[in-house]
Structure 1
Amino acid sequence: MGSLLNFIFTCKPFGDLEVAAMEEEREDDCAIQHHSSSNSMAPALIALHPHAHCVVVAVGAGLRIFDLKNNIPITTKDDIKHIGHGGVIRALKFEKEGKFLATAGDDKKVKFWNTRSFQCIKTIHSSKKVSAITFSHCSQYLMFADKFGVVYVVAIKITEEGDENINPEPVQLFGHCCSIITGLECSPEMKFVISSDRDFKIRVSDFPKEPTLGAHEIHTFCLGHTNFVSCVAFLGKDEGKALLVSGGGDSTIRLWDYQTGNLHDTFVITMLTEQSGSCEESNGTKSTASVVGMAVAPSGSVLAALSERLEGVLLLRCDFLAKKLIFMQKLLFEEHTCPTSLQFDQAGNIWVVAGAAATIDLGDHVLTPEEITMAETKAQAFSLAAFARVIIVRSTVAISPTDHLHARVDGSHYASIQDKDVPGGERLLSTLQGSQADLTIAMCAAEAAKLSMKNLLSKRQFSFEQRELRKCKRSDRILKGSKHNSLQPETL
């Protein structure tokens, strides 16, 4: 039975089934575009260097980087036409020691940036749009996932002289059977790769000794979410004692033993997000407040989470003894802001970004080199014009790494700081936020981006009649039916 499951979840679709799956994805995309006019917005992302050397904000196809040590903005240098990404950046991540920054997105490119000069040292091409990336803890491999559900691995070798040797050809690691992969992480002990998807699943795969040969063993699944899984992360710093935490479109944050697949705790955020207005959909049904982002503090015990309906941050603490998530604080921002991404720095402060940029739909037709250049230039222009709001939340109470043993809540631990007190001051904010000063633009863009991502990840629900009609239109059934009719006479 185990080998059958491994075969089902690792092999790629083929033949008529692949055509059917692709057509269904196109139907879903059409429905999304029809359902929401915010389809053309992409959320802003933020990442901090592991040693606090710099902070990076991605808005649309553009990267905005500020050197925290020298208090100056940084300009990237690309290896291809000096233009950077030609489409929206959907994922960015620093390597564990901060030697590289990896970025990827809708232009089907994964770029490696040397963080000493922010020169792009390698561009890797993907066959599909990239939705998630992560580095292994040994920093020898980069893994990225595409919207068709395939995870690839790229080998990285550092020579004795310090030069980087990155394999330009990615190798397939495993697949999720045509489901958009939303999260990708390596376990602290480097034994497993955690991947989450749009179809409510969290898969725990054995990380092989030779990843370039593929990861064919499924260790377990963490099943319990009733809607898409939007993000995953690890709580705890002790090797072998870490717990997995996940957030999803079902308004829950869940705590898992990822080695056994057991669910320890479920924290429902619905009551905490009602301040942001109505929870009614256009059809009158009750909707859920999706978890759209998470970050873990350096201590490994505090979790910060974003919800699509919360103009602020939720803070939880993990009690590792009781294996429970304990509510700490709901921090609301004074200004009307819809955060889209967040991350902790070394000091335990939370960096939050809100904003979005317009995207360009290139369609499925083959573009000429001139059309590609025009599209890339337009994407960069959209990113330059976009405004992103950056807010820093500072811890007001010192939290030691052992505080999680008591899981005690003594009131508010975090508060947002004034712009004048931000490290780097006005220079940092102008670099990361952009030239526009209208906060309403960033707020509206962030709301549109969140709705767009939710529509993309939510699985559509069909009535019995709709399901039967879709079955009749499936390409594999039509093809088989035509072959059958051509070989055999019609019978009553």
Structure 2
Amino acid sequence: MEETAMEDGDHSRDREVAPALIAIHPTQESVAVAVGSDLRVFDLHNGCPISLVDDSSEPFHLDSIRVIRYGAKGKLLVTAGDDKLVKIWNTDTRRCIYTVSSEKRVSAVAISNDGLFVCFADKFGVVWVVGLDGLHETQTLSSKKAVPILAHYCSIITSLEFSTDGRFIASADRDFKIRVTVFPKKPLDGAYEIQSFCLGHTEYVSCLAFVCALEYPEGFLVSGSGDSTVRLWDIASGSLLDTCEVSAEAGLVESNGKEDECCFAITDLCAIPNSSLVAVAIQGLPGVVLLSCNLSDKTLSIFKVIYIEGEAFIPTGLGTSSSAEFLWMVTGVSNLQGSDSTSLTRVKAISGLTKINPDSGELETTVLEDNDVPGGMQLLEKLQGSASIKEEVFLAAAESVKIAMRNLLIKKQYSVERRDFRKRGRNDRKIKH
């Protein structure tokens, strides 16, 4: 019976899909997309694809990439995922300057605002830190090690974010919790001072983002969850300031005809710089929701719903630069049965996020046609491939992402008999003779 269970688990692991991810350079010099183990980068400044160099391995990743992000200063690009490798790339030289092996699969990454530390989290709830001070391209891979900095109790960490002022690091997990930790001056010695816990979600927390304004430079935290809500938090006290039932207010529940909250999990958040807006991607929505965050009143409300007309484009990742000139979106998955996973990706961009019509007070947003996207067709051919894919395939991809996220982050429920059987097999319950 145990062998059968193990075989089922291995078979399920083989079928596991990974959503396509996107990251935007802070000054919009480049755009990076990951789908499965494939990493694609396009140089927007020079209008050409970027070829990365990694002397340690080829291909760069051996399994699905789960995290991809640029540092605040744009000097670093970090990729990590199911192959338990965290790769740190120098965006100037386009080389991998450091590869660290994680003990478990990596689920989240954050880069300190000064670019001196990279933190990554694993599936067992441990957050590790790597110091980059003095790291040069010629250093050997063994010269620096990752050390544990904090941990959640045996819970998958789903998101890591540094606060706007760099004083805190927020971590979210599968067990509905958000922890705000003071980021110490010597992170390699550990982070032991917990600022607050933000508790209130009723399902897994999927994503985090910080929003700020001139009058609130320390910022506030927003979180998305499998409970279909986006919530606003005071990080100093952990107080819940407001809750927005995003999927219901966007009309998803009514249009579907049934109230199944898990079908409309929040998949990604993107705070729009220099504004009070937060872009939200929701499972089942062919477009994005723009939330208005009123920091003075400490409230969240739906500002606008932007639909992608004419095709089944349900974003799996969002990103923007510090200028917020465009909101970039990607959809797609890897390992979708019956499809070419290397090209099952679509990229789109929305302009006008900072242009408000003085007469109507509304944003003049536009979903750009392929030819109007920065970088044009050359960018799209690099990031998404040139293959023609039918709409029903992307609908199947969206459904696969929903199922994969649910299987990964929703806790399994067992019968009493099954729980007893599992307990008997635990190492700590075995009687030593």
Name the TM-score, length of structure 2 as normaliser. 0.89
Kindly tell me the number of residue pairs found equivalent between the two proteins.
424
Instruction: Give ranges in structure 2 of 5+ residues lacking alignment.
Output: none
Alignment partners' CA distance in 2, 1:48 and 1:396: 16
- Per-residue CA distance 1:452-490 (angstroms, 9 max, x = gap): 11221112345xxx246414531587864745xx7xxxx
Percent of aligned positions that are identical:
39
Query: Which moved further from structure 2: 233-242 or 319-328?
Result: 233-242
Relative to structure 1, the CA distance from residue 397 to residue 323 in structure 2 (aligned partners, 3 Å threshold; closer, same or farther) is same
Q: 1:325 aligns with which of 300, 320, 333?
A: 300
Q: What is the CA distance between 1:254 and its match in structure 2?
A: 0.1
> Where do 1:56-67 residues align within 5 Å?
56-67=32-43
Question: Which position in structure 1 is the counterpart of 2:232?
Answer: 255
* Aligned twin of 1:149: 125
Q: What is the identity, as a one-letter code, of the residue corresponding to 2:350?
A: V
Partner of 1:177: 153
SS, match of residue 406 in structure 2: helix
Residue 419 (structure 1) aligns with: 370
1:292–1:274: structure 2 CA closer, same or farther, 3 Å change rule? same
Identify unmatched segments of 5+ residues in structure 1: 1-22, 361-380, 487-492
Match for 2:284: what amino acid?
Answer: R
| CA–CA distance in structure 2, aligned partners of residues 229 and 44 of structure 1 | 19
What SS does structure 2 have at the residue aligned with 1:354? strand
Distance of aligned partners of 1:278 and 1:467 in 2 relative to their CA distance in 1, 3 Å threshold: farther
Report the Cα distance in structure 2 between the residues aligned to 1:134 and 1:43, rounded to whole angstroms. Answer: 19
> Aligned equivalents of 2:262 and 2:82: distance in 1?
28
Could you tell me whether the CA contact under 8 Å between 1:88 and 1:359 is conserved in 2?
no
After superposition, what is the alpha-carbon deviation per residue over 1:379-423, rounded to whole angstroms, capped at 9, x for unaligned? xx976x3321111111166259xx9xxxx9834542201112111
2:256 aligns with one of 266, 275, 278: 278
1:438 aligns to what?
389
Does residue 308 (structure 1) correspond to residue 283 (structure 2)? The answer is yes
Q: 1:98 to 1:359 in 2, by over 3 A?
A: farther
Structure-2 separation of matches of 1:399 and 1:165: 51
SS at match of 2:284: coil
SS in structure 2 at match of 1:157: coil
Higher relative contact order (CA 8 A, sep 6+): 1
Between 452-461 and 321-330, the greater mean CA deviation after superposition? 452-461
The residue correspondences of 1:439-454 to structure 2 (distance < 5 A) are 439-440=390-391, 441-454=393-406
2:101 corresponds in structure 1 to 125
The correspondence for 2:59, drawn from 74, 83, 91, is 83
Other structure's SS at 1:342 match: strand
Q: 1:481 to 1:105 in 2, by over 3 A?
A: closer
Q: CA deviation at 1:79?
A: 1.7
Check conservation: 1:297, 1:348, Cα contact below 8 A: no
SS in 2 for 1:357: coil
Contact 2:327 2:353 in 1 (8 A): no
Q: Give the drift of 1:219.
A: 1.9
Picking from 220, 223, 231, the partner of 1:246 is: 223
- Deviation (angstroms), 1:88: 0.5
Residue 480 and residue 447 in structure 1: after superposition, are their counterparts in 2 closer, same or farther (change >3 A)?
A: closer
Alpha-carbon distance in structure 2 between the residues aligned to 1:101 and 1:29: 37
1:450 aligned partner, one-letter code: K
- Distance change >3 Å, CA 65–CA 198, structure 1 → 2: same
Quick check: 1:328–1:409 contact (8 Å CA) kept in 2? no
**TM-score of the superposed pair, with normalisation by structure 1:** 0.79
Alignment pair present for 1:114 and 2:90: yes
Q: How does 1:159-238 map to 2 (within 5 A)?
A: 168-238=144-214
Displacement, 1:237?
4.4
Separation in 2, partners of 1:211, 1:358: 37
Distance 1:279 1:433 in 2: 34
State the distance in 2 between where 1:190 and 1:470 align. 43
Q: 1:481 to 1:99 in 2, by over 3 A?
A: closer
Deviation of residue 275 (structure 1)? 7.3
Q: Aligned-pair distance for 1:168?
A: 2.9
Deviation at 1:296, TM superposition (A): 0.8
Question: Aligned match of 1:100 in 49, 69, 76?
Answer: 76
| 2:343 is equivalent to residue 358 of structure 1 | no
**Which residue of 323, 328, 340 corresponds with 2:316?**
340
CA-CA distance at 1:256 after TM superposition: 0.3
AA aligned to 1:420 is N
Q: Judge conservation of contact 2:180–2:235 (CA < 8 Å) in 1.
A: yes
CA distance in 1, matches of 2:403, 2:315: 13
Q: In the alignment, which residue of structure 2 is the partner of 1:19?
A: none
- With over 3 angstroms needed to count, the CA separation of the structure-2 counterparts of 1:73 and 1:439, relative to structure 1, is farther
Cα separation, partners in 2 of 1:201 and 1:107, compared to 1, 3 Å: same
3-state SS, counterpart of residue 132 of structure 2: strand
Distance in 1 between residues matched to 2:430 and 2:101, nearest whole Å: 38
Amino acid at match of 2:221: L
> For residue 395 of structure 1, what is the aligned residue in structure 2?
352
Query: Is the alpha carbon distance of 1:165 and 1:93 closer, same or farther for their aligned partners in structure 2, counting shifts above 3 Å?
Result: farther
Q: Which has the higher helix share?
A: 1
| Conserved 8 A contact 2:31-2:41 | yes
Larger radius of gyration: 1
Aligned residue number for residue 380 of structure 2: 429
CA contact (8 A) 1:340 1:354 kept: yes
Partner of 1:338: helix, strand, or coil?
coil
User: Using the alignment, how far apart are the partners of 2:261 and 2:168 within structure 1?
Assistant: 37
Contact 2:71–2:115 at 8 Å: present in 1 too?
yes
Aligned to 2:18, the other structure's residue is in SS state strand
CA contact (8 A) 1:328 1:412 kept: no
Structure 1 pair 294–39 and aligned structure 2 pair: CA distance change class (3 A): farther
Report deviation, 1:186: 1.2
CA shift for structure 1 position 191: 2.1
